[in-house]
A = this chain, B = another copy of it.
Amino acid sequence: MTLAAQGSPKTRPNAAVELVIAALADRFGEQVTRNAVIREQHANATSWHPLEVPDAVFFARSTEDVVAVVKLCAAHKVPVIPFGTGTSLEAGVNAPFGGISLDLSQMNAVLAVHEEDMDCVVQAGVTRKALNAHLRATGLHFPIDPGADASLGGMASTRASGTTAVRYGTMKDNILGLTVVMPDGTVCRTGTRARKSSAGYDMTRLFIGAEGTLGVITELTVKLHGIPPSVVAAVCAFPDLGSACNAVIASIRYGLQPGRIELADSLQIRACNAYSKLAMAEAPTLFVEFSGLEAAVKEQVELFGQIAEEFGCKSYDDAATAEERNALWAARHDVYWACLQLRPGSQFIATDVCVPISRLADCMTETHADIARSGLVAPIVGHVGDGNFHVSIMAMTDDAEEMARTKAFIDRLNHRAIAMDGTCTGEHGIGEGKRSFLRDELGVTVDYMRRLKATLDPHAIMNPGKVFEA
């Protein structure tokens, strides 16, 4: 394999990279590899963005390993791309300027569980499912669920959330402190295990959502939550999107605390029916889950039923047993596969806008009209309690004309959300895909983000080409 055969010509072949790889091989042996397959696996593999492979992959086993890699790369101005499980939907792990993909998946130890404090300390490569398996005997869990079995470090770096954010918040709300290897190789600890603090700048939140552009997260202290003793799920179909959204708004104002509250549009329901062999009404549908103490859950299920009826809910099924509940949520979880089946041969292109909930029905309705005008196949699911929704565009990615239509649609979608005082990304991050929208959304504030970046990472080695436009 020749390096020149792959990747961007603008940086390779590159003597500095060669030096770094040789030095790493010398010191760490098989922890560094130039294997072409492994390198491809470490570039963007889960989105429609083009593949940009790193020059080598390094498998870190400790914070000290990360320090060694970062120091070497800093000395030679070689890019470092932190890698967890590679499930970024915006090409956060691509290597547009080559460099070293720093794979943290072997840093997968749960270092401490503090049951009384309801927190734990994990290495960055621990995945959310592995953590929850580890916690099984404690009655505690880590509830943030972005869908993919992502690493905690990656989830922190993209400020991830998912279906449970309406109840538990996002990664920014569930991290007490981080261990970070700074771009100069210094190891920083950003917080203590105190549940709250007013001591200095919030360095923890600075790294959460920074997408690996300010340093490498190697350890996290995360909050845990008690597993709710009672869980009841329900599904209800509404005459239109506005009614479904208004039912959610009314519920939350009334004081209901759903564990999850998800909206699927008619096309999504049709896809789920086909894939999961169900017979749900093809209408805008809420999937709701209430969890907590028994009387509280019962009270909320009843109240939600009344509110849903008030807003024209056409059918209301609740599922109190774990089995029934799992069947209902399986349909929601299988949205990805259901969508693929909706249009065989197509690729799934994710979008991720989030708007104030009062604008959600408008935004989805306008987006529906845009989908129809654009001739796209694109069902919608939404984390409706947060105003965050995903249009899943099922596109033939080798059809240039369709891709042009798709990209133009995504542009309009992002601008529509921004115009409604919302964001182009509720939980996926900016990565490579949304760099051009960041300034539309936050204006001159982006200049100050860049200044922070330049201060902490003067050689621009940390995950270059992400978050900011060149």
Instruction: Write out, one digit per residue, whether chain A residues 355-385 have a CB within 8 A of any chain B CB (1) or not (0).
Output: 1111000000000000000000000000000
* Stretch from A266-274, A337-345, A450-458 that touches the partner: A450-458
B192–A117 touching, CB < 8 Å: no
A197–B117 touching, CB < 8 Å: no
Instruction: Write out, one digit per residue, whether chain A residues 287-302 have a CB within 8 A of any chain B CB (1) or not (0).
Output: 0000011111011100
* Stretch from A124-132, A277-285, A400-408, A438-446 that touches the partner: A438-446
Instruction: Write out, one digit per residue, whether chain A residues 178-212 have a CB within 8 A of any chain B CB (1) or not (0).
Output: 00001000111111111111111111011011100
Which residues of the other chain, B, contact A293 by a CB distance below 8 angstroms? Answer: 255-256, 296, 299-300, 303
Partner of A202, one of B116, B182, B206: B206
B199–A438 touching, CB < 8 Å: yes
Known contacts A298-B295, A356-B194, A423-B194; is-contact A118 B253 (Cβ 8 Å): yes
B442–A190 touching, CB < 8 Å: yes
A116–B226 touching, CB < 8 Å: no
A115 and B446 alpha carbons, distance in the complex (Å): 30
Which residues of the other chain, B, contact A200 by a CB distance below 8 angstroms? Answer: 209, 430, 438, 442, 445-446, 449, 467
* Stretch from A43-51, A57-65, A165-173 that touches the partner: A165-173
A428–B198 touching, CB < 8 Å: yes
Residue of B nearest to A441 (CB): B199
Q: Measured between C-beta atoms, what is the minimum distance from A428 to chain B in Å?
A: 6
A161 within 8 A of B: yes
A158 within 8 A of B: yes
A29 within 8 A of B: no
A298 and B296 alpha carbons, distance in the complex (Å): 9
Which residues of the other chain, B, contact A438 by a CB distance below 8 angstroms? Answer: 199-200
A296 and B300 alpha carbons, distance in the complex (Å): 9
A84 within 8 A of B: no
Q: Measured between C-beta atoms, what is the minimum distance from A72 to chain B in Å?
A: 20
Partner of A169, one of B173, B194, B448: B173
Within 8 A of B (CB), among A387-434: 387-388, 417-418, 421-430, 434
Interface of A toward B, CB cutoff 8 Å: 114-119, 139-140, 158-161, 165, 169-170, 172-173, 182, 186-203, 205-206, 208-210, 214, 226, 228-229, 249, 252-256, 292-296, 298-300, 303, 352, 354-358, 386-388, 417-418, 421-430, 434, 437-438, 441-446, 448-449, 451-456, 467
